[in-house]
Amino acid sequence: MGSRASTLLREEEIEEIKKETGFSHSQITRLYSRFTSLDKGENGTLSREDFQRIPELAINPLGDRIINAFFPEGEDQVNFRGFMRTLAHFRPIEDNEKNKDPIASEPLNSRSNKLLFAFRLYDLDRDDKISRDELLQVLRMMVGVNISDEQLGSIADRTIQEADQNGDNSISFNEFIKVGNVYILYIDIDIDI
Amino acid sequence: MASLKEEVEEKKKLIATLRNKPWRMKRRLKLLKECQAFVEEFEGALGKGKGRKLYAYKVMMAKKMIKFNRDFDNFKTACIPWERKIKEVESHFGSSVASYFIFLRWMYGLNLVLFAFMFGLVVLPEVMMGLPYGSIPRKTVPRAEQDRAMDISVLLDFGGYCKYSILFYGFYNDERTIGVLQFRLPLSYLLVGVGIFGYSLMVVIRTMARNSDEGGDGGDDGQFTFAFKMFTSWDYLIGNPETADNKYASITTSFKESIVDEQENQKDENIHLRRFLRVLANFLILCSLGGSGFLIYFVVKRSQEFANLDQDDLSWFEKNEVEFVMSLLGLVCPPLFETIAELEEYHPRIALKWQLGRIFALFLGNLYTFLFALFDEVNAKLEKEKSIRNATIWGLNEYYSNYSSYHNTTDIPPPDIHPADVIRGPCWETAVGIEFVKLTVSDIQVTYMTILIGDFLRAMIVRFLNYCWCWDLEAGFPSYGEFDISGNVLGLIFNQGMIWMGAFYAPGLVGLNVLRLLTSMYYQCWAVMSCNVPHERVFKASKSNNFYMGLLLLVLFLSLLPVVYTIMTLPPSFDCGPFSGREQMYNVVMETIENDLPAFIGNIFTYATNPGLILPAVLLMVLAIYYLNATSKNYQNANLELKKKMQMARDEEKNRRNNKENTNQVMQDLEDLLPNRSLLPPAAAEEKPPPVREKGSKSPKVAKRPGAAANGKGINIQKDVSLAAPNPKAAVTHPPGPRGPSGNARGPPPGPARGRGRGTPPSRR
């Protein structure tokens, strides 16, 4: 399985992917073998059903949205390059990268790009704002019918009120970044989470 | 990797050209040393140089070590027992119910260690190296009791063979050393008895200290509580569907908890009415506590009188009056307290603490009666013992004198009586041990029965009778039970107090408790998941279990006192137990010091127990406590100050950013000119109250925010317009010094002069 994978992936391709995403050689070959194991149709692309087969994504309330994030606008198949490009968001940030190339554009796994990825999960209509309705949808998915509608509405209102700073009753990307930054402080202190 | 290579190359180049640099010698030498160290360290990493193999080996070992550590940590976490069960309970019932089970698990660990001490250092040596059953009087069932010794009823009462077994104090022999290893059993018994308390004290205080680290009372209001819950509560590493279900339930519960917290913060404050109600409630509860205390005292007094009467004249009720009254109080008072407590309208977490405190006071009454009764019994037995002891000594003397006069020798063999026939004193320590064991067993029975009937049977009835009943049983009267946290926690704490008191007299009691806790864990987890429903208002437990630990500490001290009193004051029985024949129990320690340890240690102990040394030591410790207390208070204050500063900095930034978006250049100029920013507060006031985190002001905040959002832009625009008008005059007249020179240029508007640094103020025209 491993040797078959590496012969199907050419060296130049690996180099290109490495430059674009920052993964190392061994990581790319491992991810390629995972890609091929998911690709049941063996046509070099993944469809949405292939992703649904991953148990962690299947039971995740936001699973569908995460899967959508892999597919570019309007398409139903994703090839290995696209797969890697999305996965690059999840690579851990390493310190020595900061010194490399100050002129190059921000790497795909920078903090703000990660936050942008998360932001896009919630902002369905891509208007760069998370509105109250979008929050309600997410709450409904997370909580089901155990909490009454009006309580859900108050939770959504309260969330917006906490994060919103310019008073437009929705959460923009900058405000979302602010929440994320404070969260990083809290996960050191708050052992419960 | 490549960067490392580059750096090594650089350093090598530097070393080569160091001679040519126009620097001082000292600097060159220092740099040389640095570069050489660097090259040596890292050249191995690049596969060149001398240290290559060693370096590669070191790197491989380091990686293996990291992996090993991580695996070991995973293993340790997997070893924590019942974690999955407790998580399941937590996700369905909330963290307050789960905190009970976490406490139970902690107790189990503590008892396991105590059992290991007792078993390994006292029971095992006696069993393996001591004399077997039946060899000496104390280890044999007396002749009179022998025909009934195997009856179930007697055994269940812990008489018969149970009484003369390793379970109780009386079985242990008082030989100074036993067996091949010369194990000193009496010393070990005493030290283990005291060591149990010492260890428990240490563990409780260590746990309290560790818990206090994790912050104070639960429900800290952070900055983004709801936003965090919404965006970050899902755990992306879950792959198991069952775990996912639990996580759903836990997210729902967590939202409900936050809603409760919010509701509490937004309640209407009618302070006077609430204070009055609280005082009234406390008064009522004090009255009922006083009443129950008096009732218990009265009943105990009466039982003492009854004890003097002939036992056959008393009815069943009169014989068991004390237990009856105590059970009645235990059943009636807690719900009574809960009903009265509804007047107080506390946050559920705080109400739970009050409830715990009050029931604790009630149970202390129980404890008092039990100890009182026990003490009476001990005194009675001591009296009886004196007479038997005298009789035995007299009998022995008679035997010796008869023997010597009959056989005319001075070498007299010991009396040849079968151990079962020897006259035995009433071994009061074993009697006390039996009382404790009986109490523990009946406690276990009552608890399990209550769960079976009160929860399981009730749930069955509600579920199945609901089909054919007039009103909705599930929503209406009986419905399903809720888990009674306070009752269970207190039961656990008092049970542990009993164990601590009884462990000295009944070494088997700790083992019994370990079994009890083990079965309790499974039984109660099952009962909670299948018969109970979550509380109406699910609230988050305080992050630390310190309240439970505090109660436990109190009970530990209370149970320490009787045992220490016994060891120091009461004389041990003369014919049973490891301390028989001695004046006081602690004499064992004295004997050991005299006989077994070298002479100078004895001297050291004599000096150390001198009051002249002990008093200054106590004084020193008191001063140390005071100093540490003061230091910790200072740290706490500094902590609070820092938090406040951080909060203020955040608010400042928020204000500044908001103001920057809305004000124009004119405002900014004014801002710089006016030192106290007197023109800004109206704009800032809109923003400032919302971010300030006071508990009481959350509702006005909810109302204000949308309002501010709607009016904010409008108001600020108005401000711009209104401030722009008087600007030329105001700007010129205010500042003294710097304006002086340009005051001559008052003719043409001073705007461009100032505006040069900042661009043209737009709305001045």
Taking the CA of residue A79 and the nearest CA in chain B, the distance in Å comes to 24
B231, B244, B708 member nearest A167 (Cβ): B708
Give the C-alpha separation, A15 to A21, whole Å: 10
Q: Can you give the C-alpha Rg of chain B in angstroms?
A: 39
In this prediction, residue B527 carries a pLDDT of 93
In this prediction, residue B324 carries a pLDDT of 75
Average pLDDT, chain A: 77
| Per-residue pLDDT tens over the stretch B195-211 | 999 999 999 999 888 87
| Per-residue pLDDT tens over the stretch B388-407 | 888 888 888 888 788 777 77
* B592 touches A: beta carbon within 8 Å: no
Average pLDDT, chain B: 77
- Token code pair at residue B254: 């967590």
In this prediction, residue B760 carries a pLDDT of 42
**A192 vs B117, residue with greater confidence:** B117
- Segment B627-646 mean pLDDT: 92
CB contact under 8 A, B255 and A183: no
Q: What percent of chain A has pLDDT over 90?
A: 0
* B643 touches A: beta carbon within 8 Å: no
CB B498 within 8 A of CB B488: no
* B708 touches A: beta carbon within 8 Å: yes
Taking the CA of residue A32 and the nearest CA in chain B, the distance in Å comes to 21
* B565 touches A: beta carbon within 8 Å: no
Residues from chain A contacting residue B654 (CB–CB below 8 Å): 165
Residues from chain B contacting residue A159 (CB–CB below 8 Å): 226-227, 230
CB A49 within 8 A of CB A97: no
Inter-CA distances, B213 with A60, B82, B203, B545, Å? 34, 25, 16, 11
A143, A159, A186 member nearest B251 (Cβ): A143
Backbone angles phi, psi at B574, to 5 degrees: -85, -15
Structure confidence at residue B749 as a pLDDT band (50, 70, 90)? very low
In this prediction, residue B616 carries a pLDDT of 92
Q: Is the pLDDT of residue B728 over 60?
A: no
Nearest CA in chain B to A53: B239
**A63 vs B52, residue with greater confidence:** A63
A138, A144, A167 member nearest B230 (Cβ): A138
CB contact under 8 A, A193 and B232: yes
Q: Is the pLDDT of residue B109 over 90?
A: yes
CB contact under 8 A, A56 and B701: no
Taking the CA of residue A60 and the nearest CA in chain B, the distance in Å comes to 7
| Per-residue pLDDT tens over the stretch B652-690 | 876 776 666 555 555 666 666 766 555 444 444 333 433
Q: Is the pLDDT of residue B561 over 80?
A: yes
In this prediction, residue A63 carries a pLDDT of 83
Q: Which of A6-20, B152-166, B307-321 has the lowest mean pLDDT?
A: B307-321
| Per-residue pLDDT tens over the stretch B209-229 | 887 766 544 334 566 777 877
* B689 touches A: beta carbon within 8 Å: no
Provide DSSP, A74-109: T-S-EEHHHHHHHHGGGSPP-GGGTTT-SSSPPPTT
**B64 vs B701, residue with greater confidence:** B64
Give the C-alpha separation, B53 to B284, whole Å: 81
**B108 vs B536, residue with greater confidence:** B108
Taking the CA of residue B533 and the nearest CA in chain A, the distance in Å comes to 14
Which is nearest to A1 in space by CA: A40, A32, A24?
A: A32
Residues from chain A contacting residue B256 (CB–CB below 8 Å): 147
**B518 vs B352, residue with greater confidence:** B518
Taking the CA of residue A168 and the nearest CA in chain B, the distance in Å comes to 7
Provide DSSP, B501-553: HHTTT-THHHHHHHHHHHHHHHHHHHHHHHHEE--SS--PPPSS-HHHHHHHH
* B607 touches A: beta carbon within 8 Å: no
A155, A159, A167 member nearest B712 (Cβ): A167
What residues in chain A have their Cβ under 8 A from chain B's Cβ atoms? 55-56, 59-62, 96, 99, 118, 122, 135, 138-139, 142-144, 146-147, 151, 154-155, 157-159, 161-169, 179, 182-183, 186, 189-193
Query: Which residues neighbour B172 within 8 Å (Cβ) at sequence distance 6 or greater?
Result: B122, B126, B130, B185, B186, B189, B577, B578
Structure confidence at residue A6 as a pLDDT band (50, 70, 90)? very low
CB contact under 8 A, A161 and B214: no
CB contact under 8 A, B248 and A143: yes
Q: Is the pLDDT of residue A131 over 60?
A: yes
Residues from chain B contacting residue A59 (CB–CB below 8 Å): 238-239, 241, 244
Q: Is the pLDDT of residue B565 over 60?
A: yes
Taking the CA of residue A176 and the nearest CA in chain B, the distance in Å comes to 9
- Segment B259-288 mean pLDDT: 82
B228, B234, B709 member nearest A183 (Cβ): B228
A56, A165, A169 member nearest B658 (Cβ): A165
* B658 touches A: beta carbon within 8 Å: yes
- Segment A103-126 mean pLDDT: 75
Residue B110's CB is within 10 A of a number of other CB atoms, namely 21
CB contact under 8 A, A162 and B226: yes
Hey, what amino acid is at B508? G
Q: Is the pLDDT of residue B709 over 50?
A: no
CB contact under 8 A, B239 and A55: yes
Q: Is the pLDDT of residue B375 over 60?
A: yes
**Alpha helices, H only, B408-507:** 428-450, 458-465, 485-502
- Token code pair at residue A55: 């148990």
CB contact under 8 A, B706 and A144: no
Under 8 Å CB pairs connecting chains A and B tally to 96
Which is nearest to A175 in space by CA: A184, A183, A166?
A: A166
* B248 touches A: beta carbon within 8 Å: yes
B232, B259, B658 member nearest A151 (Cβ): B259
Q: Which of A20-34, A108-122, B417-431, B689-703 has the lowest mean pLDDT?
A: B689-703
- Segment B613-633 mean pLDDT: 94
Give the C-alpha separation, A4 to B273, whole Å: 79
Residues from chain B contacting residue A155 (CB–CB below 8 Å): 226, 230, 255, 259
In this prediction, residue B624 carries a pLDDT of 96
Which is nearest to A146 in space by CA: B235, B88, B534?
A: B534
Q: What is the ipTM of this complex?
A: 0.75
CB contact under 8 A, A159 and B226: yes
Which is nearest to A109 in space by CA: A95, A130, A125, A88?
A: A88
Structure confidence at residue B258 as a pLDDT band (50, 70, 90)? confident
Q: Is the pLDDT of residue B417 over 80?
A: no
CB contact under 8 A, A167 and B709: yes
- Segment A111-118 mean pLDDT: 80
* B709 touches A: beta carbon within 8 Å: yes
Structure confidence at residue B577 as a pLDDT band (50, 70, 90)? confident
Give the C-alpha separation, B153 to B13, whole Å: 95
- Token code pair at residue B81: 């027992």
- Segment B566-578 mean pLDDT: 84
Residues in chain B: 765
Query: Which residues neighbour A9 within 8 Å (Cβ) at sequence distance 6 or greater?
Result: A28, A29, A32, A80
Residues from chain A contacting residue B702 (CB–CB below 8 Å): 157-158, 161
Q: Is the pLDDT of residue B275 over 50?
A: yes
In this prediction, residue B330 carries a pLDDT of 76
| Per-residue pLDDT tens over the stretch B527-554 | 999 888 877 666 666 655 688 888 899 9
In this prediction, residue B748 carries a pLDDT of 42
Highest-scoring range by mean pLDDT, A97-106, B324-333, B660-669: B324-333
- Segment B591-618 mean pLDDT: 84
Residues from chain B contacting residue A179 (CB–CB below 8 Å): 224, 227-228, 231
- What is the H or E stretch that residue B26 is in? helix B25-43
* B612 touches A: beta carbon within 8 Å: no
CB contact under 8 A, B705 and A161: yes
A155, A179, A186 member nearest B255 (Cβ): A155
| Per-residue pLDDT tens over the stretch B10-64 | 888 888 888 888 888 898 889 889 888 888 777 766 666 666 788 788 888 999 9
Q: What sign does the CA torsion over B102, B220, A158, B233 have?
A: negative
Q: Is the pLDDT of residue B741 over 50?
A: no
Q: Which of B244-253, B629-638, B697-706 has the lowest mean pLDDT?
A: B697-706
Which is nearest to B319 in space by CA: B309, B330, B331?
A: B309
B224, B238, B252 member nearest A162 (Cβ): B224
* B706 touches A: beta carbon within 8 Å: yes
* B255 touches A: beta carbon within 8 Å: yes
CB contact under 8 A, A56 and B214: no
Nearest CA in chain A to B703: A161
